[in-house]
C-alpha cells in the first residue's frame, strides 16, 4: 500500500477516475465541485470506499499485534515480534479516517438532512460510529466533539465521551432508517454499493454494532448488561444473508490519486497483501492446525495459509510439467523463535525464481548446522557438493528459492508470504483478472510457477467484513457463558463455527464459478466431508459441559482473522494473564517471545500487571503530539510517555476512576 501523500478535501470527487465499478461515478458538476454541491448519491460510495482504507490498515496492524500476522516491515515488526512498539504505526489510520472519511460523513449528513434523505443520514451515522469507535479502540483519546468543525487545533475528548457519542449516533441511525424518505429524494440504492440500498441490512448492521460495542464494557460491572446485548443480537444479523460486507473487485487498473492504490480492491489487501512483507504468524497457524491440542487440521487452513510451488520440473518449453504445493507455515515469534533468533526479528527472506540452474555456496562453521543443512538438501532432493565447511547447492530451473549465501535464510521458502496481485498492481506481468497468484518475475509467470496463492481475507476480491452473522454468534456464546448458561453458549459457539465455514464456502464457490480456482486451488470450495469431520473432531468442543471461554474466543479469533475485534477481545481478557472473570487463560501461548525488547513501552512486570501488554497506540506524532500538543497534554498528561502503549483505553478499565487516574499527571 502506498503512503498517503496529500491532504485534499476533494477526495470524494476524483473526477478523472473512469472506474469500472458503477458506484464510483463522477460528480454532476465537474467544473465547480465543492462540499455542498456534491450529490449525496455520489458522496456515499467514496465514504464507503475510503473507510475501507482506514479499517483495512487498523485491521492489518492490530492483526500483527494479535498474533495473526508476522511482518518483516520495521514498523509492524515491532507489533508482531519485538513488542518495542513504534509510533511509525500510528499515523495512517488517523489520516485515512480524518482526511478521507470523517469530514465527508459530516457533509453527507448535513446535505442529506436538508433533503430529508433519512436513509443517507442513517448510513452517515453508522460510518461515524465505525470510524470514531476505531479511533477510541486504537488511540484512547481523540478530537471528537470539535472534530470536522474547521478548528485547526481541536480539543480531544476522553474515551467515555467518544463511546457514548458513537452509541448515540447508532440510536439515531435506527430511528432514521425507520423513516420514509419523501418522493424525489435519491433512493439509498443510488449511492450505496455496500448493501445496495437494503435498509433492513443497515438496520441489522446498526444493532449488530451496538451488540459489539456493548460487549466492550465487559470489565465494567456498572455498565455491562448481558440482556441488553442479547436484545441487540436478536435484532441484528440472523444469518449470513444479513452480513454487511464491502464487496471488492479486480476489474480496473484505476488508482485513486489520494492513496495511489487500486480503486476497487479490498482494503485489507491494500495493506496486508499489496507487498511481500507479511506472513501468517505461528500463533494463528497453530490454531488452524492444532486447536484444543487435537492435532486436527482445520479445513479453513488451506484457504487462509498461502502456498507456493515446490519440486518443480519444467518441460521442453520451459513450462511446469510437475510440482507439489508447499503449504506455508507460521513464523514463530511467540514460542522458541529458533529461526528468528538466528537471523533477527525481521530477517525472514523473500523468495526468488530460478530461471536457470543456479548455484549458491554457503559457508557453515557450526558442525550441527552443517549436518542439518546437508540433511535438508538430501530430503529435498537437491544436488549439492561439500568442500570442508562450504556447501554448494544447485537450485534447478523452475525453483522457488532464497537468493542469498546466508544459510540461515535458505529454508525461508517455508514462510510463504501473503502477496496477491490485482490488475492495477501486476506491473509488466500479463495476468488475466482471474489469476490473483503472485509470480516473483515474468520468467516465473511464463513458466507458470506460483510463489504465493494468497490468503482468503486479503485477496483483491475478498470481502471486507463490517458486521457478520458469525461474529454475532460468538458474541452470543460469550454473553451466555458469562451468564452461566453453558447450554445456550454451546449452541451459539457451534453456530458461529458453522456460520463462518458457510460464509467462506459461499465465497469460495463464487470464486470457483468465476474461474479463479483454475489457477489457484486455494480459491476452490472446501471439501464438505472435511468440514463435517472437523465439526465432529476434538478440535471443536463436543459437549456443553466441557465448553470453556477459551474455546469460544479462539474459534472467534480464527473466524475473524484480520479484524481489530480480535485485538479488542484480547484486551478485554487481558490476553493470556488468566485473571478475568474466573475464565482462566483465554489465549494460551500468546506471550512475550524471546525477541522481546519493548521494556520502555510495556513496563508491567508480570502478565497480571495491566502495563505488561500492548493496550493502545501512541497518538500520531505530528498531528496530535506536535501540532496539537497543548490540547493533547491537557487531557492526557502521559500522551508522550514511552509507556503510553500499555495504558488502557476507557472501555478496557473496570471503573472511570481507574481510567481517569491514568490520564492525570
Residue 4 gets which letter from DSSP?
P
C-alpha to C-alpha distance for 29 and 419, rounded to whole angstroms: 39
pLDDT value of residue 238:
98
Tell me the C-alpha to C-alpha distance, in Å, between residue 408 and each of 57, 366, 412.
31, 11, 8
Q: Give pTM, 2 decimals.
A: 0.94
Among left, alpha and beta (phi > 0; psi -120 to 50; other), residue 344 is left
- Inter-axis angle of helices 469-483 and 549-560, to 10 degrees? 170
Report pLDDT for 197: 98
Distance between CA atoms of residues 290 and 406, nearest Å: 32
Of all residues in the chain, what percent are helix, strand and coil, respectively (each to 5)?
Answer: 45, 10, 45
Question: Which pLDDT does position 8 carry in this prediction?
Answer: 34
pLDDT tens digits, one per residue of 505-541: 999 999 999 999 999 999 999 999 999 999 999 999 9
pLDDT for 30 equals 54
Say how many Å lie between the first and final Cα of the chain, rounded: 38
pLDDT given at position 31 = 55
DSSP 296-355: ---TTHHHHS-EEEEEEEE-TTS-EEEEEEEE---B-SSS--HHHHHH-TT-PPPPEE-S
Q: pLDDT value at position 360?
A: 98
**CA dist list (Å): 439 to 72, 272, 425, 624:** 19, 17, 12, 41
Strands 142-143 and 156-157: antiparallel
Are the CB atoms for 444 and 463 separated by under 8 Å? no
Q: What is the pLDDT of residues 473-499, one digit of tens each?
A: 999 999 999 999 999 999 999 999 999
Residue numbers of the chain with a pLDDT score lower than 70: 1-34
pLDDT at residue 32 in the model: 60
Amino acid at each position: 500500500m502506498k503512503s498517503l501523500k496529500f491532504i485534499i478535501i476533494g477526495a470524494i470527487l476524483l473526477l478523472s477516475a473512469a472506474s469500472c465499478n458503477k458506484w464510483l461515478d463522477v460528480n454532476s458538476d465537474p467544473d465547480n465541485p465543492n462540499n455542498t454541491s456534491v450529490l449525496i448519491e455520489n458522496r456515499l460510495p467514496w465514504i464507503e470506499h475510503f473507510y475501507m482504507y482506514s479499517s483495512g490498515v487498523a485491521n492489518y496492524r492490530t492483526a500483527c499485534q494479535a498474533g495473526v500476522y508476522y511482518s518483516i516491515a520495521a514498523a509492524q515488526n515491532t507489533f508482531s515480534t519485538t513488542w518495542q512498539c513504534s509510533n511509525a504505526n500510528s499515523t495512517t489510520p488517523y489520516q485515512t479516517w480524518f482526511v478521507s472519511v470523517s469530514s465527508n460523513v459530516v457533509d453527507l449528513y448535513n446535505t442529506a438532512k436538508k433533503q430529508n434523505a433519512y436513509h443517507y443520514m442513517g448510513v452517515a451515522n453508522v460510518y461515524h460510529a465505525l470510524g470514531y469507535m476505531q479511533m477510541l479502540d486504537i488511540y484512547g483519546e481523540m478530537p471528537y466533539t470539535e472534530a470536522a468543525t474547521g478548528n485547526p487545533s481541536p480539543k480531544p475528548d476522553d474515551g467515555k465521551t467518544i463511546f457514548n457519542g458513537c452509541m448515540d449516533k447508532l440510536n439515531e441511525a435506527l430511528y432514521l432508517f425507520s423513516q420514509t424518505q419523501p418522493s424525489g429524494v435519491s433512493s439509498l440504492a443510488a449511492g450505496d454499493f455496500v448493501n445496495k440500498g437494503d435498509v433492513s441490512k443497515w438496520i441489522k448492521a446498526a444493532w449488530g454494532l451496538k451488540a459489539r460495542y456493548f460487549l466492550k464494557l465487559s470489565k465494567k460491572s456498572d455498565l455491562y448488561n448481558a440482556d441488553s446485548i442479547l436484545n441487540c443480537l436478536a435484532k441484528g444479523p440472523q444469518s449470513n444473508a444479513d452480513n454487511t460486507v464491502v464487496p471488492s473487485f479486480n476489474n480496473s487498473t484505476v488508482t485513486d490519486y489520494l492513496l495511489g492504490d487500486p480503486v476497487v480492491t479490498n482494503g485489507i489487501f491494500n495493506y496486508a497483501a499489496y507487498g511481500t512483507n507479511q506472513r501468517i504468524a505461528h500463533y494463528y497457524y497453530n490454531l488452524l492446525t492444532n486447536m484444543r491440542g487435537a492435532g486436527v487440521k482445520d479445513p479453513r487452513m488451506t484457504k487462509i495459509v498461502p502456498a507456493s510451488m515446490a519440486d518443480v520440473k519444467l518441460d521442453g518449453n520451459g513450462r511446469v510439467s510437475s510440482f507439489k504445493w508447499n503449504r506455508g507455515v507460521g513464523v514463530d515469534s511467540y514460542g522458541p523463535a529458533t529461526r528468528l533468533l538466528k537471523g533477527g526479528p525481521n530477517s525472514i527472506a523473500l523468495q526468488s525464481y530460478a530461471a536457470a540452474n543456479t548455484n549458491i555456496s554457503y559457508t557453515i562453521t557450526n558442525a550441527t548446522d552443517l549436518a542439518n543443512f546437508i540433511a535438508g538438501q538430501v530430503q529435498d532432493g537437491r544436488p549439492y557438493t561439500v568442500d570442508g565447511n562450504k556447501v554448494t547447492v544447485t537450485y534447478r530451473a523452475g525453483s522457488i528459492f532464497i537468493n542469498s549465501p546466508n544459510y540461515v535464510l535458505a529454508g525461508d521458502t517455508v514462510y510463504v508470504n501473503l502477496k496477491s496481485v490485482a490488475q492495477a498492481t501486476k506491473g509488466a506481468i500479463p495476468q488475466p483478472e482471474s489469476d490473483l497468484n503472485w509470480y516473483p518475475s515474468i520468467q516465473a509467470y511464463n513458466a507458470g510457477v506460483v510463489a504465493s496463492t494468497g490468503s482468503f481475507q486479503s485477496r483483491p476480491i475478498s470481502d471486507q467484513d463490517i458486521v457478520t452473522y458469525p461474529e454475532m454468534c460468538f458474541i452470543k456464546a460469550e454473553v451466555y457463558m458469562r451468564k452461566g448458561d453453558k447450554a445456550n453458549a454451546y449452541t451459539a459457539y457451534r453456530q458461529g463455527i458453522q456460520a463462518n465455514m458457510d460464509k467462506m464456502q459461499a465465497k469460495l464457490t463464487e470464486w470457483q464459478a468465476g474461474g479463479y480456482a483454475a489457477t489457484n486451488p486455494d480459491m476452490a470450495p472446501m471439501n464438505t466431508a472435511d468440514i463435517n469431520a472437523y465439526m465432529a473432531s476434538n478440535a471443536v468442543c463436543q459437549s456443553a459441559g466441557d465448553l470453556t471461554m477459551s474455546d469460544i474466543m479462539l474459534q472467534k479469533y480464527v473466524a475473524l482473522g484480520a479484524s481489530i475485534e480480535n485485538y479488542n477481545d484480547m484486551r478485554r481478557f487481558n490476553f493470556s494473564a488468566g485473571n478475568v472473570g474466573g475464565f482462566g487463560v483465554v489465549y494460551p501461548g500468546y506471550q512475550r517471545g524471546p525477541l522481546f525488547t519493548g521494556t520502555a513501552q510495556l513496563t508491567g512486570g508480570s502478565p497480571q500487571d495491566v502495563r505488561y501488554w500492548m493496550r493502545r497506540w501512541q497518538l500520531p506524532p505530528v498531528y496530535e503530539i506536535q501540532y496539537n500538543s497543548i490540547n493533547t497534554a491537557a487531557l492526557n498528561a502521559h500522551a508522550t510517555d514511552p509507556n503510553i502503549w500499555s495504558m488502557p483505553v476507557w472501555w478496557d478499565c473496570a471503573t472511570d476512576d481507574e481510567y481517569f487516574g491514568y490520564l492525570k499527571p
